[in-house]
Structure 1
Amino acid sequence: MMQVTPIPAFTDNYIWLISNEAAQQAAIVDPGDAAPVLEALQRLNMQPVAILITHHHRDHVGGIEKLLQAYPGLPVYGPVNERIPLVDHPLAEGEQLNLESLGLSFSVMELPGHTAGHIVYYGEGSLFCGDTLFANGCGRVFDGTLHDLYHSLQRIATLPTDTQVYCTHEYTVDNIGFAKWVEPDNAALDVRMEECWALLDAGYPTVPFELGREFETNPFLRTHIPEVIAKAEEIAGRETHTPEDVFAVLRIWKDTEYD
């Protein structure tokens, strides 16, 4: 049975440790920093079997070199369409990643937008999505495009609603704040905010989260909702013509006015 442990890093990152406790082995997802990973592996008495990378940003790949120094020969999986020097097992859309020692298997989806070659790992009822989808939000566009990010989020939206989403930043409370700019009368946002503060006050992360709840509170997955369309048109000062247009208005607004 799969266990997933969050390893806090930097100010708001999570590195994910996917483990099989019976085998005392683990895969490491997006290790931006090696030190907390090495500490967690020692504390949990786990042997790493693989590193999984979603995209090239430093806070997701910065720890690879030191991990390989500590565990020579550890395979590093990552996106085929991004230049990440230490990735020796490039993965593309539709490929299957089988972690046999963990008894786990993941499908690879290419979901560009945050970066041009971003991939995610889906399987075991879970999605390890890097910086594509956040709880109540989505990634900022760097070397991808708004068009790509919109369609990547739409692909995620087709997954089962009970999918557990493992993103890599603790942005939830901040994202709910922006969502309330978009939909101030959405009562589900108030409920979600209370739940998140309760988790944080108790020392727990607000992620992972269930995909289905995003359709109630995430403005970037609600671009077809009349209230969200109305807010986008108010901000843009014009009519919007498609949900993708609404998405672009909201993402640019968040980048320029809120973040």
Structure 2
Amino acid sequence: MKDTLMPMDIRQFACLSDNYGYLVHDRETGATAAIDTPDAEAINCELDAAGWKLTHILNTHHHWDHVGGNLALKEKWGCTIIGPKGEADKIPGIDQPVGEGDDIMLGASKASVHTTPGHTLGHIVYYFADDRAAFVGDTIFTMGCGRLFEGTAEQMWSSLSMIAALPPETKLYCAHEYTQANAAFALSVDPENDELKKRSADVDALRANNTPTVPTTVALERATNPFLRAGEPALQAAIKMAGAKPVDAFAETRRLKDNF
């Protein structure tokens, strides 16, 4: 995908069973980053197809399907590995640990780093404001969010609230194609949401043609993602949590999804 108004090119590709890989290329300098490394071979194929050289890896968290290609890619390209300082001991080959409030430069393109605990304790996202793009790992998915493997509901609610506060046109580049399953659950807890009903039908049509449902946008997620709508009266009523604190309604929504 290419937008001449943006300083970066973003190349998206499917890999493993349901992951998405991303290459981010700064046009001015040629610097190129892999966002996580689910599959080193697939990343190298995409680099070859684009004619780019890998200069950086930007890891979001330590799970194997996000760091598994780090060392092979570093050996081949000599790239700099940037990752969450809260998980630095779990990020293979890390050179530059970063956290909340840090900025990183990919050539002439700047990303701000935000710590988003919940899925893992040290999870981070990379927000390129000039490109209106956020690489969110497993914190948020299209109409879903990551499981709470390490963090608490309070932490994840805070993390999701940070993402929801980004400009509405911001594109969210999620790490997995989970959307149809997420839509089915969303309809079960937000059944009167007309925008959600339409979006679910649109998603079915996209997947029938093997078309990605990612990236999504902040605006779309605010309107249709039940995990961002935990403060909405309609959703709270549907999950029998009317009048609850949003974080408590979020925790119940996550519990229901875990058992869906």
* TM more than 0.5: yes
> C-alpha distance in 2, partners of 1:161/1:133?
15
Q: Residue 79 of structure 1 aligns with which residue?
A: 84
Alignment partner of 1:250 out of 246, 249, 253:
253
Letter in 1 for 2:224: T
Q: Residue 161 of structure 1 aligns with which residue?
A: 168
Alignment partner of 2:40 out of 34, 54, 64:
34
> C-alpha distance in 1, partners of 2:69/2:209?
29
Give the secondary structure class of the aligned counterpart of 2:55: strand
**1:176-215 → structure 2 map (5 Å cutoff):** 176-215=183-222
Q: Residue 159 of structure 2 aligns with which residue?
A: 152
1:202 Cα deviation after fit: 3.4
On the 8 A contact 1:240/1:246 being kept in 2, the answer is: no
The two structures have a TM-score, normalised by structure 2, of 0.92
Q: Residue 3 of structure 2 aligns with which residue?
A: none
1:25 Cα deviation after fit: 4.3
CA deviation profile, 1:165-218 (whole Å, cap 9, x unmatched): 001000111111000000222221221122223333334211101111112111
**1:82-93 → structure 2 map (5 Å cutoff):** 82=87, 83=89, 84-93=91-100
1:158 Cα deviation after fit: 1.1
Q: Residue 45 of structure 1 aligns with which residue?
A: 51
Which deviates the most, 5-14 or 199-208? Answer: 199-208
1:21 Cα deviation after fit: 5.3
The 1:89–1:138 alpha-carbon spacing in structure 2 relative to 1, beyond 3 Å, is: same
On the 8 A contact 1:28/1:50 being kept in 2, the answer is: yes
Alignment partner of 2:106 out of 88, 99, 104:
99
Give the secondary structure class of the aligned counterpart of 2:54: strand
1:68 Cα deviation after fit: 1.3
Which runs of 5 or more structure 2 residues have no equivalent in the other structure? 1-6
Letter in 1 for 2:37: P
> C-alpha distance in 2, partners of 1:95/1:13?
27
On the 8 A contact 2:125/2:134 being kept in 1, the answer is: yes
Letter in 1 for 2:220: R
> C-alpha distance in 1, partners of 2:92/2:50?
29
Give the secondary structure class of the aligned counterpart of 1:245: helix
> C-alpha distance in 1, partners of 2:143/2:44?
31
Which runs of 5 or more structure 1 residues have no equivalent in the other structure? none
Which deviates the most, 136-145 or 192-201? Answer: 192-201
> C-alpha distance in 2, partners of 1:63/1:181?
37
The 1:134–1:242 alpha-carbon spacing in structure 2 relative to 1, beyond 3 Å, is: same
> C-alpha distance in 2, partners of 1:223/1:13?
27
Q: Size of the alignment, in residue pairs?
A: 250
Letter in 1 for 2:202: E
> C-alpha distance in 2, partners of 1:56/1:146?
20
Give the secondary structure class of the aligned counterpart of 2:200: helix
The two structures have a TM-score, normalised by structure 1, of 0.92
> C-alpha distance in 1, partners of 2:243/2:100?
32
> C-alpha distance in 1, partners of 2:110/2:196?
34
On the 8 A contact 2:233/2:243 being kept in 1, the answer is: no
1:227 Cα deviation after fit: 1.6
The 1:22–1:81 alpha-carbon spacing in structure 2 relative to 1, beyond 3 Å, is: closer
On the 8 A contact 1:233/1:240 being kept in 2, the answer is: no
> C-alpha distance in 2, partners of 1:46/1:69?
16
> C-alpha distance in 2, partners of 1:44/1:75?
20
Q: Residue 62 of structure 1 aligns with which residue?
A: 68
Which deviates the most, 39-48 or 54-63? Answer: 39-48
